[in-house]
Structure 1
């Protein structure tokens, strides 16, 4: 089992250091009271070519929307990482807590990677506090999205968080 994946978002440098330690330039980055929005190309993955990310520290989540290459399309509108997100000045550090959600707007929310979460807890890769937080946070997010008609944007708008305007280039 791998240790928790960590990535950083540095608005000053305009970079995102991914979970493998690769530093990526961000095409669009906006800071908000609620966190960060970024939009950048995906490098080195044959299945997708662009991603938009919303880092929401107070909600303990990171939303992603990927633009897929032909033949790799997925039936999902948002991917949600349950995470511990801390600040060091303007830099955000996100520790992925293994549990993920796939949102299909208007239809459902699916919980993923429960097996990884259980293995990580069993191996002591998460502290008891992190494990409890991840479990409570994932349940709360699933419940809240469901109560908003399985619509992430409706939920967040009710919290005063608007995801737009989105930056998505034309396909290369």
Structure 2
């Protein structure tokens, strides 16, 4: 079992250190009162070529929208990671707490990686208080999404959170 995945978002430098510690150039960072937006190319992953994420510290969620390569498309609108998010003046940090949610607008929300979460707790990779917080965060998110017809935007708007997505802009999907 792997330890919790940590990412660093260095806003002034315009880089993201991914969960493997690899430095990734960021096309755009945007701060708002409720979070931090990041948009960057995906390098070295056959399934996707662009990633956009919103770090929402008050909700304990990282909301991601992927641009998939042909043949790798997934039946989802958003991927949510339950995470501890530490905002900073220049650098933000996330610690992924294993529990993930996949949202298909208007249809369903699915919780993923419960097995990894249980194994991490049993192995002492996350403490009991953090595990309890992550479970509460996950359940509250599923309940809220269900109450809003699995519409992430509708639920977040009620929280005063409006996510805007820039997309890859003029970026060209890599060949191959």
**TM-score (ref. length: structure 1):** 0.96
- Cα distance in 1 for residues equivalent to 2:87 and 2:52: 20
Tell me the alpha carbon deviations over residues 12-32 of structure 1, each in whole angstroms, 9 at most, x when there is no partner.
111111000011111011011
How far apart are 1:158 and its partner, in Å? 1.3
Structure 2 match to 1:167: 167
- Cα distance in 2 for residues equivalent to 1:6 and 1:51: 17
Q: Relative to structure 2, which stretch is displaced further, 37-46 or 159-168? A: 159-168
Map residues 25-64 of structure 1 onto 2, 5 A cutoff.
Answer: 25-64=25-64
- Cα distance in 1 for residues equivalent to 2:59 and 2:8: 17
In the alignment, is the contact (CA less than 8 A) between 2:76 and 2:102 conserved in 1? yes
Structure 2 match to 1:122: 122
Structure 2 match to 1:94: 94
Structure 2 match to 1:109: 109
Structure 2 match to 1:137: 137
- The secondary structure found in structure 2 opposite 1:88 is coil
- Cα distance in 2 for residues equivalent to 1:88 and 1:29: 13
In the alignment, is the contact (CA less than 8 A) between 1:30 and 1:37 conserved in 2? yes
**Runs ≥4 residues deviating over 3 A:** none
How far apart are 1:165 and its partner, in Å? 4.6
In the alignment, is the contact (CA less than 8 A) between 1:82 and 1:138 conserved in 2? yes
Gaps of at least 5 residues in structure 2 are none
- Cα distance in 1 for residues equivalent to 2:168 and 2:25: 16
How many residues are aligned here? 172
CA RMSD in angstroms comes to 1.1
**TM-score (ref. length: structure 2):** 0.94
- The secondary structure found in structure 2 opposite 1:79 is strand
- The secondary structure found in structure 1 opposite 2:97 is strand
Gaps of at least 5 residues in structure 1 are none
How far apart are 1:35 and its partner, in Å? 1.1
